[in-house]
Amino acid sequence: KAGVTQTPRYLIKTRGQQVTLSCSPISGHRSVSWYQQTPGQGLQFLFEYFSETQRNKGNFPGRFSGRQFSNSRSEMNVSTLELGDSALYLCASSPGQGAVGYTFGSGTRLTVV
């Protein structure tokens, strides 16, 4: 059974650019959540998508956005990158509908220079 796949694994971007990260959840999982992980703040919730609808959002600025496609694959976009956006971005999938416990991907390491 394939796990959660995130691409790319590593990215280096310049301040002011934008970036798109991709996540393919476990087959049959309809919920995809995105988290930002930094040494100082730990894991912080960005947003959750279920059946192509964003149904929950964390406390991040509007520069962070996402979407989910009909096959449950999800993308997140960060516009006007700042140095503080350097982090590991993790995608987690779950069956949804109250299921507790995520399966995480290996993450995308974003470095903003």
Partner 1 sequence: QKEVEQDPGPLSVPEGAIVSLNCTYSNSAFQYFMWYRQYSRKGPELLMYTYSSGNKEDGRFTAQVDKSSKYISLFIRDSQPSDSATYLCAMGPIYSGAGSYQLTFGKGTKLSVIP
Binding positions for partner 1, rule: CB under 8 A: 4, 6, 33, 41-43, 45, 48, 50, 53, 55-56, 58, 90, 92, 96-98, 100-107
**10-13 and 108-112 beta bridge pairing:** parallel
The SS3 call for residue 29 is coil
CB within 8 Å of 55: residues ≥ 6 apart: 48, 49
**Least distance (Å) between residue 55 CB and partner 1:** 4
Rounded Cα distance between 101 and 81, Å, is: 30
Query: In the complex with partner 1, which residue's Cβ is closer, 24 or 33?
Result: 33
Instruction: Provide the minimum distance between the beta carbon of 111 and partner 1 in the complex, in angstroms, as a whole number.
Output: 14
> In the complex, what is the shortest distance from the CB of residue 80 to partner 1, in angstroms, rounded to a whole number?
26
17/25 with CB nearer partner 1: 25
Cis upstream peptide for 25 (omega within 30°)? no
